[in-house]
Structure 1
């Protein structure tokens, strides 16, 4: 009887309390990679942007290679450190069950937009519906970040590495 009562309690709590809330998440952000952060134990994929993978290499205008994915993550970390805490608004859960959101620094600056405008990520139109196209044009015109040389789209790099069709 005691076991049945415990099981019923667990089942009821599971239907009442979600595993993770779908509301805003606020706290000190740590960078996982150029388009993913963690706040309060919640891994958050930044909505509508696609940064180079941490292992991805890009080329400078002179043809020399550099780790553009690592550079994007380092730049994101520095940007976040300038104004804490970070607040992320829920958009959806992705196929990996990650929280996908639009995030802001304490001073109100949108992190997703900054990543694209600084040239550290691309507007992933498939998801953003072009919300960051203007920011991407600014980065491209200034030759900022990955736009200072040549690069392969992160979604294509991931597909090549996984030996699958790209989902760009």
Structure 2
């Protein structure tokens, strides 16, 4: 019945309908691509380190995902500066990083990852490994005590490394335990939108 009704349409309408269907489908596909961009893969050779979890390449800022380094503290940004210097030294010693917008340490997660955004605060979120030894940059920062696990982005992938660093007072845990503990508590909370 639908087909017989379609046959009665004027010729120009028979042509327009398929075109509208194709355009509508194209807009739907385009909308999906805008919401979920394709993964990005980068070789990062000589980044400008901004702080313990952010670096810049050609003016564009990138953030290491799954962990958080101190941004400020009551001691005049001593922890922020130290975390940035440590990341800078890691990159200097280990060389280029292979980075992707997909969280590489997901197999370490103890729970589902709530937020897998590919960008935050104007920065692209990246997970990086050193090309020289395959070590996770985020895991290394947490393990050595210069960052904490960021639960909503890591699914607790780095929680055990963070607990060991705190217990042994490694890195910034030995400088200002209270500030690092407070950061760990804040980053260990899930927003209501993530809670089950």
Q: Return the TM-score normalized by structure 1.
A: 0.68
The aligned counterpart of 1:79 is 90
**Alignment deviations for residues 65-121 of structure 1 (CA, whole Å, 9 cap, x no partner):** 871111000011001101211221113422434211111112211100011111111
Separation in 1 of the partners of 2:52 and 2:99? 16
Q: 122, 127, 137: which one pairs with 1:102?
A: 127
Please point out which of 63, 70, 78 is paired with 1:52.
70
TM-score (norm 2): 0.59
**1:153 Cα deviation from its structure 2 partner:** 1.5
Aligned counterparts, 1:56-67, within 5 A: 56-57=73-74, 67=78
Q: How many residues align?
A: 134
Instruction: Select the structure that is richer in strand.
Output: 1
Gaps of 5+ in 2: 1-29, 103-116, 187-196
Report the aligned-residue RMSD. 2.9
Name the counterpart of 2:152. 126
Partner in structure 2 of residue 150 of structure 1: 178
Structure 1 gap ranges (5+):
1-14, 59-64, 157-168
- Structure 2: how far apart are the matches of 1:26 and 1:44? 13
Question: For residue 27 of structure 2, what is the aligned residue in structure 1?
Answer: none
Q: Provide Cα deviations, 1:21-75, integer angstroms capped at 9, x if missing partner.
A: 732111222211111112455421111111101x4246xxxxxx87111100001
